[in-house]
Copies of this chain bind each other. A is one copy, B any other.
């Protein structure tokens, strides 16, 4: 039920010694065709890891043969040596697969600044072992090999009308901006052109991964790739394919949110009656990034004042004194003043629903985030990543 669910793909995940735990750390996903179409979106951070710099070039012609991914080292800020490592990774995979190096996407995740000779040697060994282990049901192995602080592998499948989409993901965060390195590989056996694949992928990530804002920090290594084999022989209805891809991305985004580092609440922030999508997203993001609000939710405190203080920092069109706020179904603030007593709000469930009604238009958007917890501080202070 992963990237090997659609026809035309093989995958593998192997242990190359990059993780000190000895767990698998190199994944390979190969497109056996007949089409070799690819699309990808990358972190918008100007500080880009070497695999991002490489993959941005690979994707320009819309042809992708395979994706090689490693955990255990981000290969970011490792200079020209690090870029050569990425280049050699692609060359090694290309040689073993009998394809061109310029059609191999590379993704890395782990500690920034990690990418020395030992790292290079292990990655190259991992590519060799990974290609040797490729199989038509290796998708779950690949999903495991890209995990870092993830507690579970993230996978998803969407069954269309004669075509299938499959995906694996790791990390917790959003893409543009993005964080904590989110790596996603999506495959499909639908028949798509490169430009269609690119358009569908951008549209789907825009409303899914881009709206997952666990802690507001943007990664140097985020990458979402879509590989198209066309092996089903079916040209999908464009709207149906887009809807399927959105559903799959949204499912993976929810899994990332549900496994975010140290979180105890999955917070869905729905901003309604905004004047524009930009306004709704800006308002939602301002709440998602407010540490005081996020700490309050951790403490099961329905502190709507912190919501209003957060959105007051935005440029979005609304009257701060005519906003309604709902928490888990209770309207705690109406027209910018107290409404139902905060005691009526039960914040003990992990799923937390916040609705902010701006009362100025008819557009809405949903941003997903997590609370700010002791475990978040612990995970991000006790371990380098």
Contact = CB atoms under 8 A, between A and B. Distances in A.
A182 to B, nearest CB: 13
Interface of A: 44-48, 74, 76-79, 111-113, 177, 179-180, 215-220, 289-292, 295-296, 298-299, 301, 303-306, 308-314, 320-321, 333, 335-338, 372-374, 376-378, 380-382, 384
A112 B77 contact: no
Most B CB within 10 A of own CB, among A301, A303, A377: A377
A44 to B, nearest CB: 8
Nearest to A338: B113
B292 A215 contact: yes
Contact of A311 (B47, B217, B296, B320): B47
A296 B374 contact: no
B291 A336 contact: no
Nearest to A316: B46
B320 A47 contact: yes
Nearest to A305: B112
A74 B337 CA distance: 13
Given A303-B384, A320-B47, A220 B292 contact: no
A372 B374 CA distance: 10
Given A295-B381, A377-B295, A380-B292, A313 B46 contact: yes
A313 B178 CA distance: 10
A45 B312 contact: yes
A378 B374 CA distance: 8
A298 B44 CA distance: 27
Nearest to A381: B299
A291 B216 contact: yes
A262 to B, nearest CB: 10
Nearest to A339: B113
Contacts of A304: 112-113
Given A74-B305, A373-B377, A382-B299, A313 B177 contact: yes
Which of A303, A372, A380: most chain B CB closer than 10 A? Answer: A380
Contacts of A74: 305
Given A292-B380, A299-B381, 8 more contacts: A45-B313, A215-B291, A217-B310, A218-B310, A220-B305, A220-B309, A291-B372, A372-B380
A327 to B, nearest CB: 13
A308 B79 contact: no
Nearest to A74: B305
A216 B220 CA distance: 22
